[in-house]
């Protein structure tokens, strides 16, 4: 039996049991008008009253020309300053209802309201050699060496809301006011140890070569007397002369740069996404100090309870041709 008939039957059964209107509403999840409607229909027609009444009129057909025009519109630029089509505007342009547009697009498996991003081909002439080098460090690291993925997450905003947060409760999500107060920004630099999953990080006011070099020195102290292979992207500060000069005296530390436009090869980007979902999304902070403290507290908890290496799952064909 379809769920809608089950709900309507429950309304009648609960009424027979002597339940109040409010109790029936709470038990079934139906609205007050809906409960009254089905009780009245049952009183008038019995079981037959719980069935859907036949709809008047014949459903209007969608012509082949309408289908073709809708599909053409959805696949072309909308013009007029718009970037994307909506079903409502397609319907207006074609002269049919939004529901018809929805039906046509669903049948054609077209979703003009959605956008997916993909990684285009890197223009780096050394893409393949750099990619193979980095993947090799992930899959088969040198013996007695530690592979670290390093990057910065900048301009993390310490946003405070103009009204108190309304917490999650039954049938209502956590709610934040749309208005907010900016309390400054925090930048984060982090290193993910590829084969343990542990994160070393520090917060900072700005992202510059001195902070990057200071973080490299921190990693040198943290992993004292260890050979370090550090993966980083092509940000100018990562290749600054100060960094090069310091590395000359550090034979056990080697920087590996991702190919141009290929920072997605850096595994710490995966962890930044986890941080965003766990901490940054929907957060409220009175100051940058409070934000920094929470981020570092989260990292400590993550290392103690969740840190583990990311599992290589790709089983398809080689991406390099």
Domain that holds residue 289: 127-305
How many domains does the chain divide into? 3
268 and 149: one domain? yes
Torsion of CA 211, 212, 213, 219, to 10 degrees: 110
170 and 70: one domain? no
274 and 241: one domain? yes
172 and 42: one domain? no
100 and 136: one domain? no
| Contact predicate 199/301, CB 8 Å | no
Q: Let me know if residue 81 belongs to a domain.
A: yes
Contacts 24+ apart (CB under 8 A), 49-54: 50/5, 50/8, 50/9, 50/12, 51/5, 52/4
Tokens of 127: 């893409």
**Distant-in-sequence, close-in-space partners of 60: CB < 8 Å, separation ≥ 6:** 100
Per-position DSSP letters for 143-192, written without gaps between them: TTEEEEEEEEEEEEEEEEESS--B--BTTB--B--S-EEEEEEEEEEEEE
Residue 269's Cβ-count burial label (10 Å; 0-12, 13-18, 19+) is middle
Question: What does each of the 321 residues of the chain score in pLDDT, given as a tens digit?
Answer: 577 888 888 888 888 888 888 888 888 888 988 889 988 988 888 888 888 776 666 656 788 888 999 999 999 988 889 888 999 999 999 989 999 999 999 988 888 878 876 667 788 888 889 999 999 999 888 888 999 999 999 999 998 887 777 777 787 787 777 777 889 999 999 999 999 999 999 999 989 999 999 999 999 999 998 999 999 999 999 999 999 999 999 999 999 999 998 888 999 999 999 999 999 988 889 999 999 999 999 999 999 999 999 987 777 665 554
Does the pTM of the predicted model rise above 0.75? Answer: no
185 and 254: one domain? yes
162 and 223: one domain? yes
Phi, psi of 211 (to 5 degrees): -70, -40
């Amino acid at each position: 039996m379809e769920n809608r008939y089950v709900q309507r039957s429950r309304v009648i059964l609960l009424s027979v049991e002597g339940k109040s209107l409010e109790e029936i509403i709470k038990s079934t999840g139906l609205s007050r008008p809906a409960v009254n409607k089905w009780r009245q229909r049952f009183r008038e027609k019995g079981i037959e009253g719980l069935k859907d009444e036949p709809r008047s009129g014949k459903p209007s057909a969608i012509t082949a020309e309408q289908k073709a025009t809708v599909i053409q519109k959805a696949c072309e630029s909308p013009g007029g300053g718009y970037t994307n089509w909506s079903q409502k505007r397609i319907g207006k342009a074609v002269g049919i209802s939004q529901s018809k547009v929805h039906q046509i697009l669903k049948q054609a498996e077209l979703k003009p309201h959605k956008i997916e991003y993909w990684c285009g081909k890197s223009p780096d002439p050394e893409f393949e050699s750099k990619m193979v080098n980095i993947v090799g460090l992930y899959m088969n690291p040198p013996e007695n060496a530690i592979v670290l993925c390093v990057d910065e997450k900048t301009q993390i905003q310490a946003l405070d809301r103009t009204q108190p947060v309304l917490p999650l409760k039954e049938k209502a999500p956590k709610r934040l006011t749309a208005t907010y107060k900016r309390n400054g920004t925090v930048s984060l630099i982090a290193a993910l140890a590829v084969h343990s999953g542990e994160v070393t990080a520090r917060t900072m006011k700005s992202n510059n070569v001195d902070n990057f070099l200071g973080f490299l020195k921190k990693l040198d102290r943290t992993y004292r007397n260890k050979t370090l292979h550090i993966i980083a992207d092509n940000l100018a500060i990562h290749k600054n002369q100060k960094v090069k000069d310091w590395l000359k005296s550090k034979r056990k530390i080697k920087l590996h740069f991702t190919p141009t436009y290929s920072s997605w090869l850096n595994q710490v980007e995966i962890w930044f996404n986890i941080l965003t979902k766990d901490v940054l999304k929907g957060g409220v902070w009175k100051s940058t100090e409070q934000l920094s403290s929470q981020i570092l507290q989260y990292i400590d908890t993550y290392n103690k309870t969740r840190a583990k290496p990311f599992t290589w799952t790709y089983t398809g064909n080689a991406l390099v041709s």
